[in-house]
Amino acid sequence: MSKLWGGRFEGRTDDLVERLGESVSFDARLAPWDLRGSIAHARMLGQQHIIPARDARAIIRGLQAIAKEISAGRFTWDVALEDVHTNIEAALVRKIGDSGKRLHTARSRNDQVATAVRLWTRDQIDQIADLLRALQAALIAFAEAHLGVIVPGFTHLQHAQPVLLAHHMLAYVEMFQRDAERFAQLRSRVNVLPLGSAALAGTPYPIDREQVALELGFEAVSANSMDAVADRDYLIEFCANAALAMMHLSRFSEELILWSSPEFAFIEIGDAFTTGSSIMPQKKNPDVAELVRGKTGRVYGDLMALLTLLKGLPLTYNRDLQEDKERVFDAADTLQLCLEVFTRMIPALSVNTDAVKRALRQGFMEATDLADYLVTKGMPFRAAHEVIGKIVLYCARNGKALPDLSLEEFRGFSTLFDDRVFSVLSAEAIVRRRDHPGATAPARVRDALRAAKRRLRTR
């Protein structure tokens, strides 16, 4: 490990130890956020007269020049310097001389890295919020375009009751709304400045933490210096939120995979989001949905790795915490990619209305409404449930659907049936009767669509 700042040591670090300890191969991506934190810190040091003002100005100019080099891809990262923070500081000293060595006054790499990671996490939350909003907008547009389509609703993957396809899609809008709310709530917990905590106990210098927090957009400063450098709860929360969002994408993926199979044939996924087979020319595989479903397990792994990493660490900072970054980077990258590809795929879905209509005649989905019909005639629901169960058995044995039965056949099971029974047997009537907030009646779904669009506009 780097002994750039290590006057305590005489011997050289073993090569394998350098390989074990380096993190710049993955934490170099924190450079923009590390530079932002360092510039704010340098400005505060100068204004508080902790370092000469001319040195503070030189440091800021040097860091801004390094930021441009990194952005242009001209910066050379040195694995021997261990991490992004030491690489940048070493480059600063090379660029402006001994003035650069004053930058680390009143801080430690412990609170420095904690600050950079919080800044990075805050920006990822904002990007994910935008991606969730875009996916919800795509789902709302799809729902509006298919407002008249009725599909089978399922429980236990068995035909249950007919619902509007738009109602089905709005269920996912609600799931992603909860994801957005969870990330928004996390943002306030992330948005706390740890800089100023130094290694673990604070610093004797007269720093102005509030000034640094204001410049960096933090809402508060940390209340306990030991907790500030040791805390990674927010990264665990981030991965937990990402895991939940991926779970929702995975459930959606599973339905798209099923619905695009010949057994269902409810939808066809556009060519840009499917692949063929190396041997079977007829195949059109829902690879995007399968990949998202698979990557969900990857994000679950990131969450479990962080929980395991933190479970036995004493206060305060321990080098184990270097292992947090790859996991949270992976969770953020995976979720953002999957959200973006899903948003593009939604408009590429086409609905096979003929297949959907055929499916609506299967599974006796009118049964519940027939039971409710008998209830309106005065029969207790449990008794009605038993009568309709016998009718379903009769239909199953005779290869009939419920709408195929004659009035005489219905009356063979109960004299309460009259010719108005046929008014409850169409999918349109079944859907229309569920007319209360949150249900699948067309008027209620239109209300839900308007509410969802208002919510997106105000978020």
- Class of 15-105 per CATH? mainly alpha
- Rounded to an integer, the average pLDDT of 278-299 is 95
pLDDT tens-digit map of 91-108: 999 999 999 999 999 999
Q: How many CA atoms lie within 13 A of 80 on its CB side?
A: 9
Q: What local confidence, expressed as pLDDT, does residue 231 receive?
A: 98
- Class of 359-458 per CATH? mainly alpha
Please tell me the CATH superfamily of domain 110-147+165-202+219-352, with its number: Fumarase/aspartase (Central domain) (1.20.200.10)
- Measure the CA–CA gap between 252 and 293, rounded to whole angstroms: 9
- Rounded to an integer, the average pLDDT of 227-237 is 98
pLDDT beyond 80 at 2 = no
Q: Are 290 and 253 in contact (CB under 8 A)?
A: yes
- Measure the CA–CA gap between 266 and 350, rounded to whole angstroms: 9
Q: What local confidence, expressed as pLDDT, does residue 21 receive?
A: 80
- Rounded to an integer, the average pLDDT of 59-79 is 97
pLDDT beyond 90 at 223 = yes
Q: Which residue has the tokens 């209360």?
A: 436
Q: Residue 9 — pLDDT band, cuts 50, 70, 90?
A: low
pLDDT beyond 80 at 62 = yes
Residue 173 sits at φ, ψ, to 5 deg, of -60, -40
Q: Residue 14 — pLDDT band, cuts 50, 70, 90?
A: confident
- Rounded to an integer, the average pLDDT of 387-416 is 97
Domain ranges of the chain: 15-105, 110-147+165-202+219-352, 359-458
Residue 55: which region, alpha, beta or left (left: phi > 0; alpha: psi -120 to 50)?
Answer: alpha
Q: Higher-confidence residue: 270 or 2? A: 270
pLDDT beyond 90 at 218 = yes
Q: What local confidence, expressed as pLDDT, does residue 5 receive?
A: 53
Q: Residue 18 — pLDDT band, cuts 50, 70, 90?
A: confident
- Measure the CA–CA gap between 356 and 347, rounded to whole angstroms: 19
pLDDT beyond 50 at 1 = no
High-pLDDT (> 90) share of the chain, %: 93
One-character DSSP codes across 251-320? HHHHHHHHHTSTTT--EEE-GGG-B--SS-TT--B-HHHHHHHHHHHHHHHHHHHHHHHHTTPPSS--GG
Rounded to the nearest 5 degrees, what angle is found at the Cα of 270, between the Cα atoms of 264 and 276? 80
Q: What local confidence, expressed as pLDDT, does residue 346 receive?
A: 98
- The pTM of the full predicted model, rounded to 2 decimals, is 0.94
Of the candidates 191, 183, 200, 185, the one whose C-alpha atom is nearest the C-alpha of residue 220 is 191
| Rg, the chain, Cα only | 30
- Measure the CA–CA gap between 455 and 459, rounded to whole angstroms: 6
High-pLDDT (> 70) share of the chain, %: 98
Q: What local confidence, expressed as pLDDT, does residue 4 receive?
A: 54
Question: Cβ contacts of residue 404 below 8 Å, gap of 6+?
Answer: 395
Q: What local confidence, expressed as pLDDT, does residue 435 receive?
A: 97
pLDDT tens-digit map of 338-385: 999 999 999 999 999 999 999 999 999 999 999 999 999 999 999 999
How many angstroms from the chain centroid is the CA of residue 18?
35
How many angstroms from the chain centroid is the CA of residue 147?
27
pLDDT tens-digit map of 310-351: 999 999 999 999 999 999 999 999 999 999 999 999 999 999
Q: Residue 161 — pLDDT band, cuts 50, 70, 90?
A: very high
Q: What is the set of active-site residues?
A: 156, 277
Summary mean pLDDT of the chain: 96
pLDDT tens-digit map of 258-273: 999 999 999 999 999 9
